[in-house]
Structure 1
């Protein structure tokens, strides 16, 4: 009787165990089906064709103006008037500032009087040599030079011209159209003949100075298009053209380049800028950078063949901000997968959602 009860207990335990295992298996299979649905990868594609490729070379540089001048007064006199301020636009010939002219005018008058006296002395010396002043054209050049020195006429003339020059330059005039910068002097203070009074900058002549590697020199030439953008505001991009290539490689293997900025925008003298040089290299097989992925450290591009993705090992050439050129691994007419390729496998089924 006791052995019969034990047998019944083992039988019931086995039935319950089988029932629980079946339930667990059903739940697991249902969970796997939920987590790993069988979906087709969605991709965008393009037909590979030869197209014009613009090589892009990036460098950092600084803006400067070709027409840039520091203005100084010729005399240390009190500043009578200042007619402009920093940032103000001026035109060629416009008055910028003026010194007090009393001393300068007086000095000119004295120099003129000394010159007149020297003329009389010159006349006396000529008469002593047997000439008249009206016959000065007939006097030999060597004799006339000696007479001018002996009479003091040459020295008086030099002093008069200097005094006249200083009086005329007591008024600063803008030498060309531009904007005023570095003006810090105040009226009624004495001007310095050695310090810069102000700077005039023609912002219409801005150019970007930058350097390129010696190995990159064959990729650029005068006239190539550039894009210039300030570090302070990268969104403000302006165009320009390479205007000058310095024919010298420095000790660091760099060559200095200048590019004239054709669109000024909000650019200023001395700005630090990013320069992007663009040059067309003719027809090339070009793919967008998004189409290239790495598999085990190798460059791979997926192509579409009969609804499936096939990977292709490729070799790229040049690149710019958006594209690569293809040297080997693809041919014109291939259907290249441009997005949705991050997790693709070879011969994986795909669904095209857009064709570029």
Structure 2
């Protein structure tokens, strides 16, 4: 629970709230929340090929990179003070299968990129995504059987995927699938296979949102997706259910938790932080980023100002960090 503020004791004009807003120095002294590059995780998209970058049309300013260019991105992040990169692979329809076997291939895009980053910048934390949608011919986060996304068989595949990423050198695993029981299964496998120090940042409160569209373009899932994801992602109206999901994932061995999307669910961010007191992250998802970028490019909003205001909102809501496509631009601004 948030402790209620005591009634302000002095009447106007003894109390003038504007006194401490008068100059930049005074405003800085009384700032309740601030941003740092250390607050950011930078989501980066991968693609096959060599020495290439391809823009993502629905996400202005975001590109897909070939693995040989991911080391340069890691060095850029390190120079800016960004502590972590999160990897997402683009997979063509031709490479997708019903068994999703590429998900745990040691030479898939993600696992090659992990090794590339660790060679280039050993101190950068590498986070991965654990879900079958980049590899699934159906575009779903789990196996589809007779029109249904099945839970337990999917969890077995996610465990194999997690172990392959841990073997490649990932520091943080990000199960984003929302299957029941996957955190406990992954944690148990990591312990038994000697990966005890690999952290899990669980997408514990992931909602069945309309804000994911540009991301699905970026990873090649838009054309693949059949149906929706409402049987395993949380209904947007259900805050209490989100809290139960967070409690479950923490009980199963998650080290950190995430709320996704971010800005439409700031109330959930605050409830999670106040209720559990654990490292709490939000994902400023592709749709949030795209709509701010589009408005800025059209001159309807001041781009840098809304970028920083949107990121600060997560800190005010209790988040310890933010996954954001703005990470490099915001870090550059913060670094002056």
Name the structure, 1 or 2, with higher relative contact order (CA <8 Å, separation 6+): 1
The TM-score by the shorter chain falls in which range? under 0.3
| Higher Cα radius of gyration | 1
TM-score by length of 2: 0.19
- TM-score scaled to structure 1, two decimals? 0.18
